Amino acid sequence: MVQSPQQEAPAYVRKPAFYDRWMESIGIPIYRDYYIEDGRTLELGFWEERGHPAAFLQLAGQEGVSESRISEIPPGGSIKPYKFALEEIVYVLQGRGVTTVWADGGERRSFEWQEHALFRIPGNHWVEYASMAGDAPVRLLHYNNLPVSMSTVQDPSFYFNSEHKTAADALRSDGDGDGFYAEAKVVENDPGRAGRVRSYWYGNFFPDMRAWDKLVPFKGRGAGGTTVFVQFPGSELTAHMSVFPSKTYKKGHRHGPAFVIVIPFGEGYSVMWPEGKDKVTVPWHEGSIFVPPNRWFHQHFNLAGDPARYLAFHPLPQFTGTGELITDRERDQIEYPSEDPAVRAHFEEELAKRGMKSDMPDIAYQDPKWEWDYTGA
């Protein structure tokens, strides 16, 4: 169960309003809790204008910054085409199908996808989704920056099916011709211009994040975890997926708001808390979705016999704070020797309930500079 943190009532705080008013006008469910236990089974409502079931997620920590929503395609059905001014990241929670994308007057580009695929829809393009399975509905998780945009331009008609036209050949703008949705490529990048070069996978389509194995060590975060960092061509949206071993857990850390996390594979829990306050526990498995609130510490624990995976959609760079790209460890990360001993004790208790023991080495709790052996990673 979620443990609600005890916080003093803040003084008057201005909150973004235009996006919330629009969202509430649609008449479908809006989920505002700390987490979604399973996006594949979440109760949806019928979005009349779009003609399909859907729900908005405004989880604690993403309000006013990012939109996430779940849309459903009936077995063998489709979602009628619509044009959205902003780009979106889409993750396939369930099912398989085909997406067709085109600019006004431009050539249509179609690509097929399956469960756990990740792809980007460019802004101001028409998009159509269709199911390729006749026995079960498709569920998609969408992520975009509409709340921020609506704080400056409030008119919904500006964003949906507008008359503004993108260049007909925009889908060729990646410089790779027909390869807009081709296989992603690796590039070296220094996102913070601080000499910390990382390998990013650069592309608009990732066919299966549950099986993605092109990973690099994520040293410093603990648990011997590995990561893939994702950039989308011509976009300021980014993402990453972390994979960490069975019966281990990551170091507590914090960053900015609106990092929406979905679980492609695994079973465990995460703990989130504002500094000095009570904690919220988030149990998760495949299909779970949660958002660490702004500047809350959070920590991820793997309770299964296999490596766990969590996929995080990042907000715009103005909101990322520190954490996933550049870490001020003394302020924003808790090393194992400095954490509350109750963290380790609770983890071991949860594993014992499942007949397992922790694989966390004792030296990790003794030497803050100790690091896992990534040989062969």
Domains, the chain, in order of start with CATH, read 18-161 (2.60.120.10), 183-365 (2.60.120.10)
81-106 residue pLDDT tens:
999 999 999 999 999 999 999 999 99
Average pLDDT over residues 30-54: 97
Under the banding of pLDDT at 50, 70 and 90, the label for residue 314 is very high
- Percent of the chain scored above 70 by pLDDT? 88
Q: Which has the closest alpha carbon to 319: 297, 338, 295, 300?
A: 295
Cβ partners under 8 Å of residue 262, min gap 6:
39, 91, 93, 141, 287, 288, 289, 310, 311, 313
Give the three-state DSSP class for 148: helix
pLDDT of residue 320: 76
How many other C-beta atoms are found inside a 10 Å radius of the C-beta of residue 321?
A: 19
Give the mean model confidence (pLDDT) for residues 254-282.
96
Mean per-residue pLDDT over the chain, rounded: 89
Residue 197 confidence (pLDDT) above 90: no
Q: How far is CA 361 from the centre of its chain?
A: 30
User: Per-residue pLDDT averaged across 58-70, rounded?
Assistant: 95
Beta-carbon contacts of 208 under 8 Å, excluding residues fewer than 6 positions away, are 114, 115, 116, 117
Q: Can you tell me the mean pLDDT for 342-346?
A: 98
- Tell which wins on pLDDT, 170 or 11: 170
- The pLDDT of 148-177, averaged and rounded, is 81
Question: Is it the case that residue 174 has pLDDT exceeding 90?
Answer: no
Q: Which residue has the higher pLDDT, 88 or 177?
A: 88
* Amino acid residing at 345: A
pLDDT band at 376 (very low <50, low <70, confident <90, very high): low
Q: Partners of 120 in the beta sheet?
A: 89
User: In whole angstroms, how far apart are CA 373 and each of 42, 93, 301, 309, 335?
Assistant: 40, 33, 20, 19, 17
The separation between CA 164 and the C-alpha centre of its own chain, rounded to angstroms, equals 29
Q: Mean pLDDT throughout 13-34?
A: 89
Q: Residue 6's CB: how many other CB atoms inside 10 A?
A: 7
| Other CB atoms within 10 A of residue 302 CB | 27
pLDDT at 11 over 60: no
pLDDT at 269: 98
**pLDDT attached to residue 372:** 95
Cβ atoms of 62 and 257 closer than 8 Å: yes
* Residue 129, pLDDT above cutoff 80: yes
Q: Is the pLDDT of residue 8 over 70?
A: no
pLDDT of residue 167: 82
Tell me what pLDDT residue 211 has: 96
> Residue 244: is its pLDDT beyond 50?
yes
User: Residue 175: is its pLDDT beyond 50?
Assistant: no
Average pLDDT over residues 147-176: 83
Give the pairing of strands 198-202 and 125-131.
Answer: unpaired
